[in-house]
Amino acid sequence: MSRDKSADGYWKATIGLLTKIMIVWFVCSFGLGILFADAINGIKLGGYPLGFFFAQQGSIYVFIALIFYYGKKMGDIDREFDVHEE
């Protein structure tokens, strides 16, 4: 495979991963914490409405999980395109 094709594929995979992560980030922080809070507030988590939980704590937990997910998937992409560190 030529270097240009490999570079294009690498960046396409990287941007695709970042796009998915940003969508999840937006849905959890803005969507569940603000836009859909009234719809999910009927569900209680730890005695608090779920919308409030996501606005205060839940989105932070999701962000931490996204960091680990990004690290794992980026490592997979790096190995796939042979640009990983030893």
Does some domain include residue 55? yes
Distance CA 27, CA 72 (A): 21
* The two three-digit tokens of residue 34, written as one number: 């603000």
pLDDT band at 83 (very low <50, low <70, confident <90, very high): confident
Total number of domains constituting the chain: 1
Fill in the DSSP letter of residue 31: I
Does some domain include residue 16? yes
18-29, pLDDT tens digit by residue? 999 999 999 999
The overall pTM is greater than 0.85: no
Residue with structure tokens 């294009």? Answer: 8
29-81, pLDDT tens digit by residue? 999 989 999 999 999 988 999 999 988 898 999 999 999 999 999 999 999 99
Does some domain include residue 40? yes
Q: Are 54 and 32 in contact (CB under 8 A)?
A: yes
Structural domain including 19 reads 3-80
